[in-house]
Amino acid sequence: MIFGSLEHFAVESIIEPGPEFRPVFGSNVVGRMRLFLNGMAVGNFAEPNCVLRPVSQHLVALCAASTTLWHSSLANLTPAQQFEILDAAIFVGTEENPPWNFSLCSFLTNVSEAFDPLKAFLLCRDPGEMQVLLQRRPDGTVEHFAIARSAFCSVASEFATWVSAQEKDLIPRGP
C-alpha cells in the first residue's frame, strides 16, 4: 500500500508476505515499509518483520506536535548546522540546556529497523511546511527536504488508520 504521493511525501508498507515470517508477532502486525521524500526512497523495504504500529504512532505524534517543532535558535542556520545542533542536543549530549522541544524533533531515528542506520530531524518553522533533515550516508552528508504539513498529516492519519485496520483483522482477540 502506498499512502500519499511518491513525488512529495508517502509511506509504502505491506503486511509481512512470508513465508519465513508470519504477519503477526505477538500482539503486533508486522511488515515492511519505507518513506518517500520528494521522490527519494528512505528506509529498507527488504527489512523483514518490522512492527508497524510504532512508526504510525510516531508520524501521528509528529503531526500533532508540529507547531512545537521549531526554536528560534535554529533560525538563519543552514540545514547542516541545524542538524548538528539537534544531534548534539538529542543524541550526543554535548548541547548544554537545549530547548525543551528539541527532543520532539527526532524523526524516524530508533523507531524501526527499516530506518536503521539513518538519523533525521523534523522541523516546522512555517505552519504550512515541514522540513526533514536527513543523514543516511557514512560521509555525514545532510540532505534537506520540504514537505507540505497538510500532506504529512494526511499520510500519517491514513497510514495509522490502515495499521489499526490490519491489527483488527489479523490479531486474534479474546472472547
pLDDT along the chain (175 residues), means of 10: 97 93 91 97 95 97 97 96 95 86 95 94 96 90 96 98 96 75
- List 156's β-bridge partners, or say none: none
Instruction: Give the C-alpha separation, 123 to 53, whole Å.
Output: 22
Residue 5 identity (one-letter amino acid): S
Q: Which residues contact 6 (CB under 8 A, 6 or more apart)?
A: 36, 39
pLDDT in the model for residue 175: 65
Instruction: Give the C-alpha separation, 36 to 170, whole Å.
Output: 27
pLDDT in the model for residue 95: 76
Q: Which of 92, 58, 90, 57 is nearest to 74 (CA)?
A: 90
Contact by Cβ (8 Å): 33, 11: yes
- Whether cis (ω within 30° of 0) applies to the bond prior to 54 is no
- List 37's β-bridge partners, or say none: 9, 40
- List 32's β-bridge partners, or say none: 14
pLDDT in the model for residue 174: 63
